Chains A and B, each alone.
Chain A
Amino acid sequence: MILLLPLIFALLGAVFVLGFRDHRAATRAALAIGALEIASLGALVWQVHSNGTQQIGRYLRADGLSSFFLMNIAFIFGLVLVYSSGYLRHHIPEGRFSSPRWFYALVFLFLFTMISVCLSANLGLLWIMMEGTTLASALLVGFYNTEGAVEAGWKYLIVCTVGIAFALFGTIVLYLAAVQAGVNPAAALDWVALMDAVPRMSFDPHLVKLAFVFVIVGYGTKIGFVPMHSWLPDAHAEAPTPISALLSAVLLNCAMYAVMRYDAIVSRATGPGFPHTLLLIFGLLSMVVAGLLILVQRNLKRLLAYSSVEHMGIIAIGLGLGGPLGLFGALLHTFNHSVAKSLLFFGAGNVRHNFGTLRMDGISGMSRTLPQTSAALVVGSLAIVGLPPFGLFISEFAILSEAFGQARFLVVALVLVMLSVVFGGFAYHLLRLLGGEPSGVPSSSKLIPSEYTVMGVAALCLLAFGARIPHLFGVLLQEAIAVMR
């Protein structure tokens, strides 16, 4: 029953919030339901931790890996919701689906699909829900109804739907391989049944590999792997800032989660060589291309979007290396990256409010005009480039140690070079934003409580994870790793 609660609250929330036409009332309703939602997610994570895997019927299941990602969703969703409550005071764009109540309703729907992705026991259901994430968020990406937003929304919808059609094909091919090997068709898409069957029965290795290629291209489109990343910077830059944070910090992780599930099956069926090599190739390619593109960006949110592509590359590299430290680093990095990227997007949202633009060549001297936002951007940037004492340093260090341990020096060299390029890029852009003569007068230099609370929480969390991984978090992380073995 506790497994259903987060799903029910999210759906109810979407319907409930629609009933409030008034902006303040809608915000209050969303915050109340959001609190319930987070509590139920927390309860579910705790339940999985103390009583092991939870399952309802054949289609819903929560194990250690799901609960690790659910924790991530709950934390970021909480931050985003509180931030949105202040953010929406600035913009009330025109349009049928562009009002605070629709904003919150679609956010809850988006949340529902992402939680369902993590709770799907069946790979077919997982596909349905992954497509659902695109559908639920497309109107949010196009929320502002400007030329850019409409273009980004259309591109997002088309590119991700086509990409995910390939993932459907991959799912079908894996189903075919399972049925041919003699798995009962009713259970041939069930993840646990597949993990069970793969070592015992002989799956056609060609079919399994073919399936993985389609799946990694398909879900890789949603992760934002180069060269399927074209939708990502547009959607991140044009969406309202809280949505950019949700896309970057939660959606990309959910897509990565799907790839991890497939990777585990395929690694068992054909040995880890093939899927891990593919992950390494996509990871390195994304890191190199996105790292170089970071240097030439002019829009702050596009810069952050390319940084997300780069970090998804790092996570893919961690998964591709495998081994105890690689997997540990990759999972830890999904969480650390979410927190740091949300902090940066929150900062970027404030920049937009105050200067009405995100073009970085038009803004300078921010350290004097917007000291608090500047501090948030500095902390976020230091964290995102992987400097100690922040959490991302630990996870990147773990991944690099694994690469060293396996004597993959080409990987190590490429990652290190790109990390320094990204560091240079961020330092260059940030110094130009903060330094120099102040350009323009900000509309409101002080942060409101909802803004500095979420930024403070995110910054403290990054610092805490850099110092020491909290005990309970470490245990949950180990439980997630145990599922993948």
Chain B
Amino acid sequence: MGLVAIATGKFLSSFSVFLFLTVLLMVVARRISTSVLLFSLQSAIITAEVFATGVRERLPAAYVVGALVLLIKVIAIPLVFFRLVDGLKTPRDVKASTTPTQSVFIAGAMIYLSYAAVHSFGQTVHVPEDALAAAVALILTGSFLMVSRKKALMQMLGLLVLENGIFLAALLTTFGMPLVIEIGIFFDILVGLLLMGIFTFRIRDTFDHLDVTKLRRLRG
């Protein structure tokens, strides 16, 4: 194992600490814009991890993917979110259904759970355990954000965090999927986000609010 490989390995595991930090901050964030900034930061960390993997595995395709993540997740998506928040003119708080204390405890429990989950897999796939745990933690907190936040925009953000986790898991275990497939997945995310944006406007126009927990007409 060369020096570069060891260095990037250390880099991956130490950067996962920052990922845990973004996760913990995200669940206590009160404003939508704070959460969006945290998401952008989180994606920036993941971009760095993509480049690190590219260096370690000598994969030129990884640089293309890294550039895509940087463009789409660090820059484009947060900008779209800010425009949505402006355009929708709704109150800017996230409307959590759990208190910040509860949220931190739940997120902490999820981080612990992710370590427990990846413990047996860490050896077989030869990746830093911390990094893999961070990926699982992102998936879990993404789902948690989706179910515990009432705003439609926060559900979209939770989905993106969840997607970040899946992306990170793919990156760590398989050094990414073939390039064409990665690009296709990015395209889907973008279009999906666009459609959700359209629907948030429609929800506001038809219901006069963005609280998706109040969408309760269809039952049974």
Contact = CB atoms under 8 A, between A and B. Distances in A.
A157 B170 contact: no
B196 A132 contact: no
Contact of B217 (A147, A169, A175): A147
Contact of A151 (B139, B163, B166, B218): B218
Interface in A113-159: 122, 124-125, 127-128, 131-132, 134-135, 138-139, 142, 145-148, 150-155, 157-158
Given A147-B206, A154-B199, A185-B178, A162 B125 contact: no
A172 B159 contact: no
Contact of A158 (B139, B155, B207, B218): B155
B163 A165 contact: yes
A172 B192 contact: no
A131 B169 contact: no
B198 interface: yes
B152 interface: yes
Contacts of A234: 218
Of listed A97, A135, A148, A155, residue having the most chain B CB within 10 A: A135
Interface string A265-302: 00000000000000000000000000001001110001
A154 B152 contact: yes
Contacts of B195: 135, 138-139, 157
Contact of A128 (B188, B196, B203): B188
Contact of B177 (A59, A152, A189): A189
Interface residues of A, number: 50
Interface in B136-171: 139, 143, 146, 152, 155, 159, 162-163, 166, 169-170
Nearest to B196: A157
Interface in A295-324: 296-298, 302
B5 interface: no
Given A131-B188, A296-B220, A162 B173 contact: no
A122 B198 CA distance: 31
Interface string B178-192: 101100110110011
Contacts of B31: none
Given A151-B215, A168-B166, A59 B196 contact: no
B192 A124 contact: no
A410 interface: no
> How many interface residues does chain B have, given as a range?
35 or more
Contacts of B192: 131, 134-135, 157, 161
A238 interface: yes
A158 B173 contact: no
A18 interface: no
B10 interface: no
B166 A169 contact: yes
A189 B176 CA distance: 12
B191 A142 contact: no
A350 B139 CA distance: 45
A296 to B, nearest CB: 7
Contact of B174 (A97, A131, A132, A172): A172
A371 B125 CA distance: 65
A157 B155 CA distance: 11
B219 to A, nearest CB: 9
A131 B177 CA distance: 17
Nearest to A124: B181
A186 B125 CA distance: 19
B206 A125 contact: no
A470 to B, nearest CB: 38
Contact of A150 (B124, B181, B184, B203): B203
Interface of B is mostly: helix
A157 B166 contact: no
Nearest to B187: A128
A165 B162 contact: yes
A479 interface: no
Contact of A189 (B166, B178, B187): B178
A124 B124 contact: no
Nearest to B184: A128
Contacts of A233: 218, 220
B218 to A, nearest CB: 4
Interface string A154-191: 11011001100100110011011001100001100100
B212 interface: yes
A162 B162 contact: yes
Given A154-B212, A158-B155, A147 B207 contact: yes
Nearest to A235: B218
B58 interface: no
A24 B143 CA distance: 46
A152 B192 CA distance: 16
A72 to B, nearest CB: 25
B60 to A, nearest CB: 14
A10 B95 CA distance: 43
Contacts of B92: none
B83 interface: no
B178 A186 contact: yes
B119 interface: no
Nearest to B125: A176
A357 to B, nearest CB: 15
24 contacts: A59-B180, A122-B181, A125-B184, A128-B181, A128-B185, A131-B192, A135-B188, A135-B192, A138-B195, A139-B198, A142-B199, A147-B206, A147-B207, A147-B217, A154-B152, A154-B212, A158-B196, A161-B159, A176-B174, A179-B174, A189-B178, A233-B220, A297-B220, A298-B220
Interface of B: 124-125, 139, 143, 146, 152, 155, 159, 162-163, 166, 169-170, 173-174, 177-178, 180-181, 184-185, 187-188, 191-192, 195-196, 198-199, 202-203, 206-207, 212, 215, 217-218, 220
The 7 closest A-B CB pairs, nearest first, are A124-B181, A128-B184, A151-B215, A172-B170, A234-B218, A131-B188, A150-B202
Given A127-B181, A135-B195, 9 more contacts: A131-B192, A150-B203, A157-B199, A161-B159, A165-B166, A168-B166, A175-B177, A185-B178, A186-B178
